[in-house]
Amino acid sequence: MAGSSRLDDDSVKFCLSHFRMNKYTITQENIGASGLPMHTDACLFTILLDDEHFRGLEIIDPSGKIVDVDRFPGSFLVNLGDIAVPWSNGKMRYLKHQVICKDVGIRMSIATTITPPIDEDMKAHQKFIEGDRPPEYVPFNYAEFRKLRATTLMYAGEALELLRWKN
């Protein structure tokens, strides 16, 4: 759902894009199965209220190891998505993550994503363009980026490589 709430400054606009509740009914037969495969979020960032009682959310840490995300009851997890990379001119990185079925029961999470407007050009914010370091990514709009991810089946950050300026 496109929202009217926006995060604005002189040169960038972002809006509430999706509010989603995820429900995983996990049976004994599902233990060890993927609830959601390894991916990155296409957005700028996601605010997640993860289940306080059921494990399952895993990330890839800086060393490349898959690790459980610690649960902190009543807290939110904020993770960067694909759009953070070109917007920050490569200074910020997305977070690869997945959900694995680990406990029998019903696992719930609530996610809110912040995205650029669907049809406006996305490019590096001026604050991240320094000296002789030009933008690393070609300007693109979010709708085109979502289509690129879907048509190439590149859901774990690799679609961004197709949008780099060719040197």
Q: Which of 105, 56, 62 is nearest to 77 (CA)?
A: 56
Q: Can you give the C-alpha Rg of the chain in angstroms?
A: 17
Residue 66, CA atoms < 13 Å, CB-side half-sphere: 11
Yes or no: say if 31 and 100 are a contact pair by the CB < 8 Å rule: no
Q: What confidence tier does 150 reach under pLDDT thresholds 50, 70, 90?
A: very high
Ordered by where they begin, the domains of the chain are 6-163 (2.60.120.330)
pLDDT beyond 60 at 1: no
pLDDT computed for residue 16 by the predictor = 66
Q: What is the pTM of this model?
A: 0.83
d(CA 5, CA 164): 30
- Terminal C-alpha separation, the chain: 38
Per-residue pLDDT tens digits for 111-120: 999 988 888 8
pLDDT in tens, 72-125: 888 899 999 999 999 999 999 999 999 999 999 998 899 999 988 888 888 898
